[in-house]
Every structure is written in structure tokens, then in C-alpha cells.
């Protein structure tokens, strides 16, 4: 095992970037081939994309993995070309010809030298691959964080995400906001079954497992909306447990935090809808901060529902139409999800939607 990097321990104010450059350089040095490519790509950002490709990383841990993956791919490609050529050559060269004399070919039983060679060379390659992987494992898993890193607790539920910002004291759901160029340390918990947090452009996945505390971190370097989804089978609606991460500028992030910290806006115009909400089981599962009755924790916090772009963990855009559809029968959007259809009449649904639409 290699020693813990001194860079990580002492220079804790800028841990991630320093480590990224260093590891990428060392990995690249191992590759030689990839030296130039590696150091230039370290600075590049790809920007958020609706296609969550592993090859467009925009966050420090994803970058580290990206460089390792290029290195591993290069080695594998080289091995493939060499060995596949050998196979093709053997198959073409040593096929039985039409003008064959019918004799058996020379019977060769083996060769110690050749066998030693093709034992030792793979061992050397394996050692190199192990060292390259170990370096990145260390860089990502044993990272230390500056005191001003943003702390978030993500809790996986069937089939949505809860995000708590303990430093600010508010809870939100399904859309994670992170400031640019700042490490965000995410503690991963689960309320029910296993889940996995995977936003490929920002970091590798880490599982959320009940009765276990996992952690991961991101440090995004480009603004915008990143997509991902639950990557560990968690039940019937695993497919629609989508993840959205909004990377904001520092100022936008601060403003978003202020908005989220405020209690829910209450307006007299939507009092009827609020009454429906509080008279039905809605309040048993959903919290609306600032109202005394709605403090359930089983479903997502709705205090600032309208600050989110989607509902039902990314299953549908957050529009009046979809909200209505969702309340009338959640199965229409997400069959098998745990929210029940409340059997409200049209008037109640209408006022309830109006109330929810007021929760900015």
C-alpha cells in the first residue's frame, strides 16, 4: 500500500484540485502515451448534458476517474490489438489449405520460455493497473475536506431523494443544489431499501444502504443542470427515481439557500386548498414548513415545491397539469409508487393544486 498523500493532509484548503492534478499527472506518467492528453484534459470542462456520459466529467472525482479510465482503456485497447491480431493471424495463416498433404503438423507440446513470457508480462501489466487504481481510490475515498465544504445528507426513499442541508436547517427533495468550485460532502443514508447515488458527470456512484452511513463528494466545475438516477435496484419504480443536480454560482446558491430557509408562503387566496391538504392524509406524509399540521416525513418536503423543476423524483415536469394528474392518480405517472390516490373530487383537486402552486 502506498503512503497517504502528504498533499491531502497538509494542504487542506484546496485539497481536491491539487490532488486531481497530481494524480492525473502520475497516472499519465505511467501511460506515457497519455501524458499530453491527460494534463490538457484536466483543465477542460464539458458542461452539463442531458446525456450523462462518463466521458464528459465536470467534477473533481469524476475527472480523476475519467483519467484513470482513459489510461485503463488505452492499456486494454493495446492488449486487444496485439492479442486479437495474434488470433486472426493464427486462424488465417494456419488454416488447412486445399492442397494439404494430409500429414499431421509438427506436434508441439509447449515452450517454457514462451509460457514464462506470457505469464510475466501480464503480471507486470496487472501491477501497473493496480497502482493506477489504488492512487485514484486513495484520492477519492480518503479525501479530506476544508471546513467550509457544504454538508448535505441524502436519504434514499422508495422512490425519491431527500436532501438535508444541516448547516442551514432545511430539507428539500429530488433536486440537489450545489455551488460551483466548492467541495460538497454528501452523507448517504437510506430509509428503506438499497439505493445508489449516481450522477456520472459529477462522481462515481455510491450506495445508500439502510443501517449504514456512506459518504461521497463532488466538486463541480461548470454551471448547470446535471442528471443521473438511482443505480441500485430498489423496487418497482427504481427506473423513475431520477436525480437532478443544479450547480449554481456562489451568489445564486446563496439566494437559493435563503429562499429554502424561509417558511412556506401562505396566502388567503389558496386557503381552501390548504384546508384540503390539512384535512386529508396529505399532511401525514408531507411537511410544509411554517404550517403547524403538515409535518409528515414519509414523502418529500413540499415547503418550496415550486422551486423544483420536476415532480415525482424527476418523473414529470412540475406543471399545473402534471400536478393535477399526479394528485388524482399517481399511478398515471409512476405506477406502483407509494403515494396513494386520495379520491378527492375535482373541486378539491383544483384548490389543492392552486395551493401547491403557491408554494414558491
Partner 1 sequence: MAEAQPIVPPLVITPEREGSRPIVQVLHDWIVTVDHKRLGIMYFCYGILALVIGGIEASIMRAQLAVANNHLVSPETFNQMFTMHGTTMIFFAAMPIVFGIANYLTPLMIGARDMAFPRLNAWGFWMTALGGIILYFSFVGGFGLYGAGSAPDVGWFAYAPLTSPAFSVGHSTDYWTIGLLISGFGSIATGLNIMTTVLCMRGPGMKLGRMPMLVWLNSVMAFLVLVAIGPLTAAQLMLLIDRYLGGHFFDTQAGGSAVIWMHFFWIFGHPEVYILVLPAFGILSEVIPVFSRKPIFGYNIMVAATIAIGFISLSVWAHHMFTVGMTSYANAFFVASTAAIAVPTGIKIFNWIGTMWGGKITFTTPMLFSVAAVAQMLIAGLTGIMLASAPFDWQLGNSYFVIAHFHYVILGVIVFGVFAASYYWYPKVTGRMMSETLGKCHFWLFLIGFHVTFDFMHVPGLLGMPRRIYTYEASRGWEGWNLIVSIGVIFQALGVLFWVFNVLKSYFKGKIAGNDPWDAWTLEWSTTSPPPDYNYAELPVVRSRRPLWDLKHPEDPDWKYE
DSSP-assigned beta bridge partners for residue 207: 196
**Looking up cell 418523473, which residue turns up?**
315
The reply to whether 335 sits near partner 1 by the rule CB under 8 A is yes
| Chain centroid to CA 216 | 10
Q: Report the site for partner 1 in 128-187 (rule: CB under 8 A).
A: 129-130, 132-134, 136-138, 140-142
Count other C-beta atoms under 10 Å from residue 303's C-beta: 26
**CB 48, min distance to partner 1, A:** 12
335: its cell numbers = 405506477
Pick the stretch among 177-185, 193-201, 262-270, 290-298 that binds partner 1 (CB under 8 A). Answer: 193-201
Can you tell me which of 44, 236, 262, 293 binds partner 1, judged by CB under 8 A? 236
Can you tell me which of 14, 36, 44, 126 binds partner 1, judged by CB under 8 A? 126
Q: Report the site for partner 1 in 254-313 (rule: CB under 8 A).
A: none
Query: Which residue number, 115 or 259, has a Cβ lying nearer to partner 1?
Result: 115
The reply to whether 3 sits near partner 1 by the rule CB under 8 A is no
**CB 77, min distance to partner 1, A:** 8
Tell me the pairing of strands 150-157 and 184-190: parallel
Calpha distance 138→300 (Å, rounded): 35
Q: Report the site for partner 1 in 22-61 (rule: CB under 8 A).
A: 50-55
Count other C-beta atoms under 10 Å from residue 307's C-beta: 15
The reply to whether 209 sits near partner 1 by the rule CB under 8 A is yes
The reply to whether 68 sits near partner 1 by the rule CB under 8 A is yes
- CA 68-8-227 angle, 5° bins: 50
Using the CB atoms, write b or e for 73-86: b if 16+ within 10 Å.
eebeeeeeeeeeee
**Looking up cell 450545489, which residue turns up?**
178
Q: Report the site for partner 1 in 80-99 (rule: CB under 8 A).
A: 80, 83-84, 86-87, 90-91, 94-97
Query: Which residue number, 232 or 351, has a Cβ lying nearer to partner 1?
Result: 232
**CB 175, min distance to partner 1, A:** 16
Amino acid at each position: 500500500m502506498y503512503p497517504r498523500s502528504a498533499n491531502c493532509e497538509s494542504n487542506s484548503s484546496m485539497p481536491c484540485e491539487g490532488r486531481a492534478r497530481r494524480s492525473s499527472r502520475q497516472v499519465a506518467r505511467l501511460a506515457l502515451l497519455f501524458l499530453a492528453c491527460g494534463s490538457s484534459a484536466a483543465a477542460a470542462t464539458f458542461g452539463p448534458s442531458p446525456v450523462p456520459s462518463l466521458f464528459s466529467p465536470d467534477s473533481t472525482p469524476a475527472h480523476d476517474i475519467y483519467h484513470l479510465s482513459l489510461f485503463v482503456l488505452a492499456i486494454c485497447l493495446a492488449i486487444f490489438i496485439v492479442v486479437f491480431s495474434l488470433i486472426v493471424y493464427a486462424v488465417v495463416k494456419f488454416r488447412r489449405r486445399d492442397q494439404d498433404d494430409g500429414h499431421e503438423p509438427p506436434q508441439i507440446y509447449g515452450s517454457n520460455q514462451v509460457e514464462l513470457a506470457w505469464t510475466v508480462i501480464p503480471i507486470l501489466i496487472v501491477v501497473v493497473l493496480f497502482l493506477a487504481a489504488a492512487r485514484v481510490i486513495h484520492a477519492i475515498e480518503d479525501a479530506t475536506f476544508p471546513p467550509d465544504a457544504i454538508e448535505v445528507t441524502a436519504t434514499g426513499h422508495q422512490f425519491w431523494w431527500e436532501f438535508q442541508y444541516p448547516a442551514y436547517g432545511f430539507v428539500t427533495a429530488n433536486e440537489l443544489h450545489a455551488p460551483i468550485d466548492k467541495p460538497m460532502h454528501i452523507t448517504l443514508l437510506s430509509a428503506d431499501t438499497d439505493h445508489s447515488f449516481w450522477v456520472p458527470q459529477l462522481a462515481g456512484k455510491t450506495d445508500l444502504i439502510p443501517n449504514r452511513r456512506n459518504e461521497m463528494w463532488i466538486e463541480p466545475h461548470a454551471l448547470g443542470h446535471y442528471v443521473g438516477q438511482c443505480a441500485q435496484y430498489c423496487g418497482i419504480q427504481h427506473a423513475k427515481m431520477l436525480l437532478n443536480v443544479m450547480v449554481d454560482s456562489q451568489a445564486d446558491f446563496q439566494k437559493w439557500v435563503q429562499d429554502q430557509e424561509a417558511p412556506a408562503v401562505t396566502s388567503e387566496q389558496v386557503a381552501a386548498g390548504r384546508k384540503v391538504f390539512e384535512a386529508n392524509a396529505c399532511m401525514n406524509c408531507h411537511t410544509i414548513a411554517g404550517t403547524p399540521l403538515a409535518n409528515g416525513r414519509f414523502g418529500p418536503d413540499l415547503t418550496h415545491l415550486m422551486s423544483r423543476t420536476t415532480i415525482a423524483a424527476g418523473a414529470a415536469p412540475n406543471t399545473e397539469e402534471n400536478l393535477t394528474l399526479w394528485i388524482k392518480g399517481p399511478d398515471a405517472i409512476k405506477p406502483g409508487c407509494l403515494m396513494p390516490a386520495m379520491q378527492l373530487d375535482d373541486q378539491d383537486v383544483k384548490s389543492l393544486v392552486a395551493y401547491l402552486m403557491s408554494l414558491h
